[in-house]
Amino acid sequence: MKEIILCKLGEIVLKGLNRRTFEQKLLSNLRHSLHGLGEYRVWYSQSTVYIEGAGEDADMDAAFEAAGKVFGIIKLSRAAACEKDKDAITALAKDYLHGELLDAKSFKVETKRSDKRFPMTSIELSQYVGGELSEAFPHLKVEMHEPELVVHLEVRESAAYVHASPVDGAGGMPVGSNGVAVSLLSGGIDSPVSSYMIAKRGVRLVPVHFFSFPYTSEAAKEKVIELARLLTAYCGKMPLFVVPFTHIQEQIRDKCPEEYFTLVMRRFMMRIAERLAAEQGAKAIVTGENLGQVASQTMEAMASTQAVLSLPVLQPLIGLDKEEIVRLARRIGTFETSILPYEDCCTVFTPRHPKTHPKPEEVARAESALDVGALVEEALAGAERIMVGR
């Protein structure tokens, strides 16, 4: 029995003349995600991507898990293939779905017939196979509305396929199909989720972390590297930039009014991120800001920190509540690492009474005692580039 993975595409199928570009990007990302898991044959036909083991080392379980994290795929099914003959299809359904058919109490058969040369209509094939399965498994009740098991038949150009209900894929657009963005990556819960959500829209990410040793530990840095590594299951291989931030924060502490500490710090982050974006060909900056969550995330505060930028700032979490963000963090596998008790630079020199409704000109005055250009250059010169992922 030849097993295969069927991957159904999402919004890519709605693209027009440039659809082929998105499809090729998806295939490239998928092949990369399967690298190291064995040898596979991957191809595309009729709005479906096929993954077939091409060697004895092919791990179909691992391939199915990896494909489920590739953006651009909306549904996945493990299926078995056979010749396009009604009795061969019936025999395969009995064999391949034997356990599911025994466990279920009700079922129905759904058929998609892409090969219009096949002599039976979709309804005729469903009725035929459904009748044979009812005889072979007499405990099963036919239920057309809410069956426990749906037996899916697909008659395509190359073969016929049998599978049970598909599972959800990652959805979205293939990473790299919608440009590059610099993503601010802290050690908290929010920023990994925001990075994931923008990558889901087809954006290749360049994460940046601001590191304030010795106020933050090497363990905190390793935590962020691990968060970036976890994201690569969805985002692919990424260059992580770790920017030394200690001197900047000490200068802010020594020379700026306390209520503006966080706002001035955020403006430095934006300036450095924009410089890295220019070097990396990125066209936007991604943050994990969430409206009203903390003092620096009021509308006025965000306007003040973003006033130093010319690039757009993408804020995918802006309207979510914390519970929604935590659910997403758990689902993508970053939550347990994010809650490890290692603080990041955002908790260093936190003001007792932060300014919540500043004007940009007020913040500019607050940082006027600093040599902004020199501090930015110093931080960029000390930045460490770490490749994460495979």
Global confidence as pTM: 0.89
Q: Of the candidates 241, 236, 263, 237, which has an alpha carbon nearest to the alpha carbon of residue 252? A: 263
Looking at the structure, do residues 161 and 189 belong to the same domain, yes or no? no
pLDDT at 188: 92
**Among residues 133, 168, 203, which one ends one of the domains?**
168
Query: Which long-range contacts does 138-143 make (Cβ < 8 Å, 24+ apart)?
Result: 139/105, 140/101, 140/104, 140/105, 140/106, 140/107, 141/105, 141/106, 141/107, 142/106, 142/107, 142/108, 143/106, 143/107, 143/108
Q: Which two tokens stand for residue 14?
A: 């709605």
Looking at the structure, do residues 70 and 187 belong to the same domain, yes or no? no
Looking at the structure, do residues 221 and 83 belong to the same domain, yes or no? no
Distances (CA, A) of 207 to 176, 183, 187, 199, 240: 15, 5, 12, 11, 5
Packing angle of the helix pair 261-280, 299-306 (nearest 10 deg): 50
Domain count across the chain: 2
Contact 152, 164 (CB under 8 A): yes
The domain that holds 200 is classified in CATH as: 3.40.50.620
**Among residues 147, 168, 189, which one ends one of the domains?**
168
Range of the structural domain that residue 71 is part of: 2-168
pLDDT at 288: 94
Looking at the structure, do residues 371 and 228 belong to the same domain, yes or no? yes
**Among residues 113, 135, 168, which one ends one of the domains?**
168
Q: What is the mean pLDDT of each run of 10 residues along the chain (390 residues)?
A: 88 85 94 92 89 89 95 95 95 96 96 93 96 95 94 92 93 95 95 97 97 90 96 95 96 94 95 97 96 86 94 96 96 95 75 88 95 97 94
Looking at the structure, do residues 225 and 288 belong to the same domain, yes or no? yes
pLDDT at 47: 82
Number of other residues whose CB lies within 10 A of the CB of residue 312: 12
Q: Cβ contacts of residue 36 below 8 Å, gap of 6+? A: 390
